Amino acid sequence: MSSRLETAYYDLGRLDLLAEKDSPIHRLDPRAKVAATLVFIIYVVSFSRYEIARLLPFFLFPALMIGIADLPFGYLLRKLILVSPFVIFIGVFNPFLDREIMFQVGTFEVSGGWLSFISILLRFILTVGAALLLIATTGFPAICMALEKLGLPEILTVQLLMLYRYLFVLIEESIRIMRAYTLRSFSGKKPRYQVFKQLLGNLLLRTIDRAQRIHMAMLSRAFTGEIKTARQFSFGTPEIFYLAGCITLFTFIRFVNISALIGKLLLEAG
Amino acid sequence: MSHHIVEAKNLEFSYPDATRALLGISFKIRHGESVAIVGANGAGKSTLLLHLNGYLTPTSGQVRIGDFPLTKETLQEVRRTVGMVFQDPDDQLFMSTVYDDVAFGPLNLGLPLEEVQARVQKALETVEVLDLKDRPSHRLSAGQKRRVAIATVLSMSPDILVMDEPSAGLDPRARRQLIELLKSFKHSKIIATHDLDMVLDICERTIIVNEGKIEADGPTADIFQNEKLLVDCHLEKPLRLQSCPLCSH
């Protein structure tokens, strides 16, 4: 268990490392990237539920991002697979519930359920993938600040920022507790409920102590209840080009049936 | 401006659980002085430090910082004057990036944005970590965290630096660099620590706290020669003042 925790910890750290890279995408103002990702997600989910073919051209965007920002495809894919069980659960019953035959490929009959299941999977890959790419090119803190500048209430963004900052401290603390437990429990089994309860209680107490010390540190720096940041973003020409480019591309893909066009071209050529 | 910058008058303090942590502590610290506060675990060092910026209110007695007695009204001014560096940098660095952390204090003081930026820049330059500006705090090494933690108070331009165990958890080189850094500061410094060798380097004066009282207060050189006093207070001579284990000179 502890080792799984440690893997998760280093994995999260890796996402931070990616965000520290330097590429044309990384250098953009976070607001532009957040806005582009939002538009992308809205377009992707706006199709009818049986749509598959028209979703495919949207993969152009993540492909471009990975290429330009030089991100490790395998790592991002693994992250996606990690979350995928949730989505698979949502869609997996569709083929049983919706048995209406939509079309036939040879003797194989494709039901509406299968179509919607695949459509859900594609949408999941596209939307979660886009969010992951956003984090990997921007970094979580910068996204929060961008969201605040875009109008999200400060109380939410501050909570998110603090959550992210102390997630690492909390995980480290849990890892230490689990290590101490593992080293003195020779069975190698997971902690029994009784023990686990105490470990959890211990973690809670440490967290409360920590919170108190953090508050102390805030007060000694003249904290009066409002968290302020001095970060300034610059929304310049590159951002305008990026955002305009993205929106044009997405709108084009959304409203022009590229798959059908390509199919038609191929048929005519053949 | 008074001659003394920090003055504690007969401080007494009991925790809510009736633990008596301070039993009448008095001292005066002059401008530019560096004072070490040493003592056993649980002697009351940290409790004492928390009185110096008004986090704890004494049960009786008074703290004066500069020209002000420490009261509710002067609290903000005192907290600007007294820069407090806590023992665990993870407590001190609560913002998500180094830059935001260092800017936190100046922003709370209501300084204009250009001034804040200039101060952040200067503070990070002073502790030589300007290149870490945009890094998330949780991805720094212990030595870097310590430096950033110091920068977070330097940016408020304090007159007094109060530090709790600044050298704890640092590797020997990071510790040495920290000592050199602290020596270069012109501020008055109050340092609570177990690292007596560091005290030799930085502080000309030492106060020994034992069981909530001041056991000794004087020039560091004199105090560290008094072996009986040190042993009575759970301390020992700094290693540098002990004879060499190999040649016993």
pLDDT of B93-111, one tens digit each? Answer: 988 889 999 999 999 988 9
CATH fold label, B4-88+159-237: Rossmann fold (3.40.50)
| Nearest Cβ partner for B80 among A169, A222, A227 | A222
> Which segments of B15-130 are extended strands (E)?
20-30, 34-38, 60-65, 68-69, 82-85
Give how far A8 is from chain B: nearest CA, Å. Answer: 15
Percent over 70 (pLDDT), chain B: 98
Q: How many domains does chain A have?
A: 2
Give how far A235 is from chain B: nearest CA, Å. Answer: 18
Band of the pLDDT at B249, cuts 50, 70, 90? low
- Look at residue A52 and give its three-state secondary structure: coil
Contact A216 B55 (CB under 8 A): yes
Q: pTM of the entire structure? A: 0.80
Whether residue A265 is contained in a domain is answered as: no
- The verdict on A212 and A252 lying in the same domain is no
- The verdict on A145 and A158 lying in the same domain is no
| Nearest Cβ partner for B138 among A168, A214, A221 | A168
pLDDT of B179-211, one tens digit each? Answer: 999 999 989 999 999 999 999 999 999 999 999
Contact B138 A165 (CB under 8 A): yes
Give how far A95 is from chain B: nearest CA, Å. Answer: 45
Contact A218 B94 (CB under 8 A): yes
pLDDT of A206-252, one tens digit each? Answer: 899 999 999 999 988 888 877 777 777 788 899 999 999 999 999 99
- The verdict on A137 and A208 lying in the same domain is no
- The verdict on A248 and A204 lying in the same domain is no
Whether residue A42 is contained in a domain is answered as: yes
Whether residue A81 is contained in a domain is answered as: yes
- The verdict on A133 and A247 lying in the same domain is yes
pLDDT of B51-96, one tens digit each? Answer: 998 889 999 999 999 888 988 888 888 888 999 999 999 999 988 8
B195, with CB counted inside 10 A (0-12, 13-18, 19+), is buried
Indicate whether A82 pLDDT > 70: yes
| A27/B36 Cα distance (integer angstroms) | 46
- The verdict on A93 and A32 lying in the same domain is yes
- The verdict on A118 and A178 lying in the same domain is no
Q: Judge contact between A199 and A175, C-beta under 8 A.
A: no
Residue type, B241: L
Residue with tokens 């152009």: A60
- The verdict on A52 and A182 lying in the same domain is no
Band of the pLDDT at A60, cuts 50, 70, 90? very high
Range of the domain at A201: 153-227
Tell me the CB-side half-sphere exposure of residue B117, using CA atoms within 13 A. 6
- The verdict on A133 and A52 lying in the same domain is yes
- The verdict on A23 and A110 lying in the same domain is yes
Give how far A170 is from chain B: nearest CA, Å. Answer: 11
A141 in reach of chain B (CB within 8 A) = yes
- The verdict on A140 and A186 lying in the same domain is no
Q: Are strands B34-38 and B20-30 parallel, antiparallel or unpaired?
A: unpaired
Give alpha helix (H) positions in chain A: 2-19, 24-27, 30-45, 60-69, 73-91, 94-97, 112-138, 140-149, 154-184, 193-219, 237-255, 258-269
- The verdict on A34 and A77 lying in the same domain is yes
Indicate whether A6 pLDDT > 90: no
Listed by start position, the domains of chain B span 4-88+159-237
Write down the ipTM of this complex.
0.85
Whether residue A263 is contained in a domain is answered as: no
B195 in reach of chain A (CB within 8 A) = no
